[in-house]
Structure formats: structure tokens, C-alpha cells
Amino acid sequence: MAPELLNDPLKEENCCAISSERKSHDSVLVKQNLGCRLNRIEGQIRGIKGLIEKDTYCDDVITQISATQAALNSVAKILLEGHMRYGVVGRIQEGDREVLDKVLITIQKLMKK
């Protein structure tokens, strides 16, 4: 995870502001980084499908699945960090304590894996 992308000055301060429409406010660089990672993951998934179609040894397929899961977890970590730094902190400073419950639920979802 590149630190320069996480501390991007283009990042808006309150990514999770309460509004009628919830949106992420990730900077262009973070979005590009995530897009590249997701493109690679998409390629890994196609590769796994190809391995299965070719009757590749199961252990090799499982290794590729594990690598793909790790890549997805990396994307989730980047998103969670941005969410915490630029959304949750601001909402807590504004007195919104409910955001903590929501973050804990999100973290529990990630940890189920």
C-alpha cells in the first residue's frame, strides 16, 4: 500500500458526510490505484477459471485463489483506511458516535473471511 496515495492532499476531508446520497470521495490517485488493483484481480479470476478448465492440479488452483483473496483484502484495507482517516474521524469530531458502531460492523464483515 503506497503511503503517498493514502496521504493524498487531493483527498476531501469528509468522505462519509451525512447526505441524501452516500459517496466515497477518494482522490483520483487512490481511485486509479484501486482500479489497477481490481483489474489485476479480474485477470487473476479469469486465470483461475482457465486453470480449472485445463484440469490444473488442485493445489496450484488453490494457491492462485489464495493470492486473489489477498489482493482483494488489500483493496479492502485501502478503502477502510481512507474511510477511517477521512470520514469516520470527521464524524466523530462532529459528535456522531453512531459511526463507530457502523465501522465495527464493517470490520467484523472483513474479519469473517
Residue with cell 476531501: 12
CA separation for the pair 6, 81 (Å, rounded): 8
> Which pTM does this prediction carry?
0.74
The better pLDDT of the pair 28, 4 is held by: 28
CA separation for the pair 61, 67 (Å, rounded): 10
Q: Going by CATH, does the domain composed of 26-111 fall within 1.10.530.10?
A: no
Give the pLDDT band (50/70/90) at residue 21.
low
Ranges of each domain in the chain: 26-111
CA separation for the pair 74, 34 (Å, rounded): 9
Section 27-39 average pLDDT: 93
- Of the chain, the percentage scoring pLDDT greater than 70 comes to 76
Poorest-pLDDT segment among 19-23, 32-36, 106-110: 19-23
Residue 110 · residue 76 · CB < 8 Å:
yes
